[in-house]
Structure 1
Amino acid sequence: MYYAEKLAEWLVHLKYEDIPADVVEKAKACIYDWVCITIYGADSPWSKALLDIVRETGGREESTILVHRDLLPCAHAAMVNAVMALSYDLSDTYPKVELHPSCSVIASALAVGEREDVTGADLITSVVGGYEVITRVAAAMNRRPESFTAVRGFEANSIFPPFGAVAGAGKLLNLKEEEMANAFGLAGGSMGAATIEYLLDGNWTYRWNSGRAALNGILNALMAKRGFVGPHAVFEGHWDDKGRYGVISALAGNMMYRDSLVEGLGDVWNIKEMAFKYYGCCHYNQGYLDGIVKLMKEYGFAAEDVEEITACVPHFALFLGVPREVKVKPKNLTIAQWSLPFVLATVLADGHLLDPREQLSDKRLTDPGMLKLTEKVKIERDRELDKTFMEEGIFKSPLKVRLKNGKDYEITSTCKGFSHNPLTEEETDHKFDALTSGVHNEEKRAQIKRELKNLEEIKSISALIRNW
């Protein structure tokens, strides 16, 4: 059997009852997180641009665009919701391969689930399946230090998400094994090749990646259900034993990790490793921001007391601080989210970064006080951090703070929201409230949170979504 066929066999036969209780809870946590970040991203400029297009296009009323409440064809609704979810970089993260699965996987599953009016348990099952597929596909070809996306400048979230989206959608469309294998093959043709140029110019492709994946994932699943044939050897190829014409060899250049596609399938659940952001910016910034918050709480200093901050970063994450002229004066929100100097200055001034839409607005980016504070942040390279990351899988975030009174403080935190520094239930609920309070009142938020925390008991996803 080809790898796509093995994945299809597992996914088609996956039942809610087969999923361990802790995996179910993690999937529910991913959906809970996705809902609040999607609501928060409803009015982003990139979301509204796509919303205008799908409104002009029209079509069958199948699935809901959150907040706006438009009913549109499920693929279009998923596309807009996915872009909304990635609007302010608050999405979940699969640390091993720098991936944000929820944006496209949950957007696709929820849209199809609403169209098919499935149960909450069905939705959870499809999300678990989607996460397992997308993380395994990514791990099969994009592990450090061989990570081809980092080496060649591709954006991982433009390449792998179609596989997770088609898995989630295909599961809820009840694809048969042959159809699901075809769908995976078609997803191979939907992989993107966007670059990480947005780090320097702030272009909108980063946001679009999730929307395109959700759109194509559903289309590929629908195509497969109608008999459209895709290559079953999409991953490994069948020309020779070197993987020629398969996507793994084509992109990664070797087949070293190909067995990651199916190893432990049904026993090892990658979704359990998902991390949740607490700050609206690149996940590599999270530990430094957590560190400055902890120091401020412990020693009671404020932004005006700080003389200088030094953050040590691994070589592979130098992009957080260079080119310095770009990072200390970011021209737009996207550049700011990948600027460690600016987000550190923001959290130093505000104590949080759960409203990036306002905190990283054009007005804030040109504020003289903020720019002066940003200049106080220095970035230093420490190659030992690369070694630690490779050996332990932990992104350590050393921070030194010198105050104007001559006192020095140091801390080494790790990425907030990751397995070694997880969010508490209180922090998770605070994030939900902070991101949705501009749309829903306290009573409505409490209702939505209650429904999501008991999602397996929901009998109609359509009724659930349309009541939000």
Structure 2
Amino acid sequence: MSEQKPIALIIADWADALRFEDLPADVVESIKSRVLDTLGIAVAASVLDTSQAVQQYARDNGGTAQATALGVEVQVPASRAAFVNGVLAHSLDYDDTHLPSVLHPSASVVPAVLAYAQAKNLSGRDVIRAIAIGLEVCIRLGMAGYDRETQNSTYFEHGQHATSICGAMGSAAAVGALAGDASTIANALGVAASMASGIIECNRTGGTVKRIHCGWAAQSAVSAVELVELGLTGPPTVIEGRFGFLQAWLHGTFDTSEITDGLGTDWVIPDIFFKPYPANHFTHAAVDAAAAMRRAGIVADDVAEFVLGVPAANIRTIGEPIEVKRRPETAYMAQFSGPYAVAAGLLGGGGLEVGLDDYTDELANDPIRRAIMAKVSVVADERCSDIFPMQFPAVLTARLHDGREIVEEVFVNRGGNRNPLSFDELTTKFRDNALRVLAEQAVADLEQGCRTLDTLNNLHSIFEPLSTIAAVPAV
């Protein structure tokens, strides 16, 4: 009986053989929309303090001009551009999500591919093919760590941020496919595995370090490929080996069939959820439930107590420590607060229900919102736990001063395959993000470039509108 082929080589051979013409039409259209969504988010995030910090970091550690980093007035090496733009793409917690792996795949794969493709003057079709490879590999590695018995991610149980860990690998496969043949891709996976990292304690108690995770993954991918091009190699059994990627992160609890079964025939890309709201995805159903109460005429003064029922696994992220979640000090902390989601939905806002303007440091400390949050308890709901993580549901109960009890159940997330965002809704989100920084014409040009990505000979019409972003002052 012959020895099984190493998984990295299976991926590499598949990716090397894949051509743009092999991609289903819905995969191509989904990728174009994800590039649009990712760039809109990155543009809006370019003015954050943390974005200014990484932009300054890129300037101070620049070198040969190769690619565009948003908000940086000089071109920087492709790996550094990938870092900056990956940070920006993940900084607003507005980036897309795959379930049940609970990954945000586009925020690392898209910046990595765009940076390398711009540096090498590659076409839009090259970009789409590479992103398809990267998203599939990222998600499949994430699914290898999804425990179907407990319905939870083993990565998360270990405190690991699967988004950045698997994102580095998916991005490496994507950039490797742009750079060379199957050998390049396999070695890129072998090298990037030693760069993959990320822990998620900041989800619980604060800190902004999570914002760099997708940037680090994107930079690691480009760096890995560039090192491979200079002769560095990786182990062929880097994924499933005794001391490989899966063993190191998942400690023996993994399923390799999730990686290889249906590779190239069963595409998961069109099923990745777009985020309608700029907050942790676990909070979205709470926004929708509270918004439904608002539309039914419920106001905060009517309510004595809110009980937010969520999947048991989500409580530690959006409900614990409850005293912190009821009193977030910053917009970033509010994005991970179930009580804040209830307040935001009940009061209403911009965007597609609530938008970026509804998550600010000032509003996190607003007495009206604090008063609502003080009424919110976050508890485990058995029905929600049974659905999780195929959806991130919520059941919101409002107990009114007059003795009535109002219940809103949201079992299907908006933006997913069962309740998708329309083309107009996704464009509304993009424009709401991009117009915060770019002029109307630049936004229109960028949108057109993304919508026609498969026809572009190079990425000039993508990056030219972005060049109008004002240089960020030194910090």
Bin for the TM-score computed over the shorter chain: over 0.9
- Partners of 2:443 and 2:465 within 8 A in 1: no
Which one of 242, 247, 250 corresponds to residue 248 of structure 2?
250
User: Equivalent residues in 2 for 1:44-63 (5 A)?
Assistant: 44-63=48-67
Alignment pair present for 1:229 and 2:233: yes
Is residue 162 of structure 1 aligned with residue 168 of structure 2? yes
DSSP 3-state at the match of 2:142: helix
For residues 441 and 291 of structure 1, the distance between their equivalents in structure 2, rounded to whole angstroms, comes to 35
Residue 447 of structure 1 and its aligned partner are, at CA, apart by: 2.5
**Is the Cα–Cα contact under 8 Å of residues 146 and 254 in structure 2 kept in the other structure?**
no
Report how far residue 334 of structure 1 moved.
Answer: 2.6
SS class of match (2:146): coil
Q: How does 1:178-193 map to 2 (within 5 A)?
A: 178-192=183-197
1:123 Cα offset (Å) = 0.8
2:397/2:406 contact within 8 Å kept: yes
State whether structure 2 residue 14 is matched by structure 1 residue 16: no
1:412 alignment partner, SS class: strand
Kept in 2, the 8 Å contact 1:397–1:415? The answer is: no
- Does residue 374 (structure 1) correspond to residue 379 (structure 2)? The answer is no
Residues in 1 aligned to 2:304 and 2:447: alpha-carbon distance in whole angstroms: 42
Q: CA deviation at 1:295?
A: 3.3
Report how far residue 167 of structure 1 moved: 1.6
The residue that corresponds to 1:451 in the other structure is: 449
CA deviation after TM superposition for structure 1 residue 99, in Å: 0.7
Q: How far apart, in 2, do the equivalents of 1:39 and 1:377 lie?
A: 34
Mapping for residues 300-379 of structure 1, pairs under 5 Å: 300-319=297-316, 320-352=318-350, 358-379=357-378
Matched with 1:28 is 32
Aligned-residue offset at 1:37: 0.5
Deviation per CA, 1:69-114, whole angstroms, max 9, x where unpaired? 5411111111000001111100000112111111110000000111
Written as runs of structure 1 = structure 2, the 5 A alignment for 1:46-195 is: 46-68=50-72, 70-144=74-148, 145=150, 147-173=153-179, 175-192=180-197, 194-195=198-199
Q: Does 1:396 align with 2:400?
A: no
- Secondary structure of the residue aligned to 1:160 is helix
- Tell me the amino acid that sits aligned with residue 399 of structure 1: L
| TM-score, structure 1 as length reference | 0.92
Q: For the residues of structure 2 that align with 1:30 and 1:126, how far apart are their CA atoms?
A: 13
Tell me the equivalent position of 1:409: 406
CA RMSD after TM alignment: 2.0
Q: Residue 147 of structure 1 contacts residue 252 of structure 1 at CA under 8 Å; is this kept in 2? A: no
> Which amino acid in the other structure matches residue 393 of structure 2?
K
Equivalent position to 1:276, from 265, 274, 277: 274
- State the Cα distance separating 1:394 from its structure 2 match: 2.8
Q: Distance in 1 between matches of 2:140 and 2:50?
A: 29
Deviates more, 1:329-338 or 1:137-146: 137-146
The aligned amino acid for 1:141 is G
Kindly tell me: are residues 395 and 438 of structure 1, through their superposed partners in 2, closer, same or farther at Cα, counting changes over 3 Å? closer
- Give the superposition deviation at 1:302: 4.1
TM-superposed CA distance for 1:250, in Å, is 2.8
Contact 2:331 2:363 (8 Å CA) reproduced? no
Cα deviations across residues 323-366 of structure 1 (Å, max 9, x unaligned)?
Answer: 21111011223322111101221232233577766533332222
- From 197, 200, 204, the equivalent of 1:196 is 200
Q: Which runs of 5+ in 1 are unaligned?
A: 238-243
Q: Aligned letter for 1:274?
A: I
TM-superposed deviation, 1:139: 1.2
SS in 2 for 1:312: strand
Whether the 8 Å CA contact 1:293–1:351 is kept in 2: the answer is no
Aligned to 2:291: 293
Identity in percent: 29
Which residue identity lines up with residue 332 of structure 1 in the other structure?
Answer: T
Does the 8 Å contact 1:105/1:161 carry over to 2? Answer: yes
CA 1:445–1:306 in 2, change beyond 3 Å: closer, same or farther? Answer: farther
**TM-score after normalising by structure 2:** 0.91
Equivalent residue in structure 2 for 1:216, among 198, 220, 239: 220
- What one-letter code is carried by the residue in structure 1 that aligns with 2:406? Y
In the alignment, the residues of structure 2 paired with residue 51 and residue 67 of structure 1 have an alpha-carbon distance, to the nearest angstrom, of 7
**What's the CA shift for 1:14?**
1.2
Distance 1:32 1:464, change over 3 A: closer
- CA change 1:161–1:460 in 2 (3 A) is same
3-state SS, counterpart of residue 111 of structure 1: helix
- Alpha carbons of structure 1 residues 249 and 367: separation in structure 2 relative to 1, 3 Å: same
Q: Work out whether residues 187 and 236 of structure 2, in 8 Å CA contact, stay in contact via their aligned partners in 1.
A: yes
> What one-letter code is carried by the residue in structure 2 that aligns with 1:21?
A
Range 89-98 or range 413-422, more displaced? 413-422
> Which residue of the other structure, out of 231, 248, 258, is the alignment partner of 1:260?
258
Letter in 1 for 2:154: F
User: What is the CA distance between 1:406 and its match in structure 2?
Assistant: 5.3
Name which of structure 1's ranges 118-127 and 442-451 shifts more when overlaid on structure 2: 442-451
Q: Which runs of 5+ in 2 are unaligned?
A: 467-475
Deviations for 1:187-230, whole angstroms, at most 9, x for unmatched residues? 111111x3221123311221111111111100101111222110
d(CA) in 1 for partners of 2:465 and 2:431?
Answer: 18
Q: What is the number of residues matched between the two proteins?
A: 457
What is the aligned partner in structure 2 of residue 431 from structure 1? Answer: 429
The Cα offsets for residues 264-283 of structure 1, whole Å up to 9 and x where unpaired, read as 11101121220011111111
CA deviations 1:152-205 (Å, max 9, x no partner) are 2222223211111112211222x121121111111111111x322112331122
